[in-house]
């Protein structure tokens, strides 16, 4: 067999497998409060063109309730209270009228089907009295690396006369 054809055949077989294996890993799941609604942000990698299935669920008292999912099977008591949004590498679920009865462990699960099906998920424990409000404050709490970088760079900016304190 011609080596060029062999490499081309190998690539046509391996590329879809690698896309499925690495195309949908959940990188983080965060929770915050918008007015009286719980907002769950499920960040994920998106390096594949294979359709992705998703599921948001709540586990409480060892029982699992599906709140929203691509298969359409959800609990009736939650279906009227949920709103789902999807962007390139972010799945967002809003649960309106969030109360202490809705506390528990929330899960974001992503699935790819195909010859090598994969599942990736993250959990977050949600308690109403521990939730932060969505917005600027929660960004500081959830991702402080940029703030730390800014604070560490202040002396350099002062030395170069970009700022004066």
Asked whether residue 45 is domain-assigned, the answer is yes
Asked whether residue 120 is domain-assigned, the answer is yes
CATH number at residue 117: 2.60.40.10
Q: Which domain holds residue 64?
A: 24-136
* pTM, rounded to two decimals: 0.68
Give the pLDDT of the chain (165 residues) as one tens digit per residue.
Answer: 554 444 433 333 344 444 334 457 999 999 999 999 999 999 998 877 777 899 999 999 999 999 999 887 788 888 899 999 998 889 999 999 999 999 999 999 999 877 778 899 999 999 999 999 998 543 444 445 655 666 666 676 666 676 666
Asked whether residue 56 is domain-assigned, the answer is yes
How many independent structural domains does the chain possess? 1
Helical segments of 52-164, H only: 76-79, 136-142, 145-159
Cross-sheet strand order for the sheet of 26-34: 26-34, 37-44, 90-95, 82-87
């Amino acid at each position: 067999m011609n080596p060029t054809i062999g490499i081309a055949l190998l690539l046509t077989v391996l590329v879809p497998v690698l896309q499925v294996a690495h195309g949908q890993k959940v990188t983080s799941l965060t929770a915050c409060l918008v007015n009286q609604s719980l907002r769950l942000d499920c960040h994920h990698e998106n390096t594949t063109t294979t359709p992705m299935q998703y599921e948001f669920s709540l586990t409480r008292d060892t029982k699992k309730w599906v709140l929203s999912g691509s298969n359409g099977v959800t609990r009736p008591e939650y279906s009227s209270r949920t709103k789902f949004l999807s962007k390139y590498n972010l799945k967002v679920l809003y649960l309106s009228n969030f109360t202490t009865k809705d506390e528990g462990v929330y899960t974001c699960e992503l699935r790819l089907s195909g010859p090598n099906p994969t599942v990736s998920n993250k959990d977050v424990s949600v308690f109403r009295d521990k939730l932060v409000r969505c917005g600027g404050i929660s960004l500081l709490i959830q991702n402080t690396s940029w703030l730390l970088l800014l604070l560490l760079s202040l002396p350099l900016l002062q030395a170069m006369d970009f700022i004066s304190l």
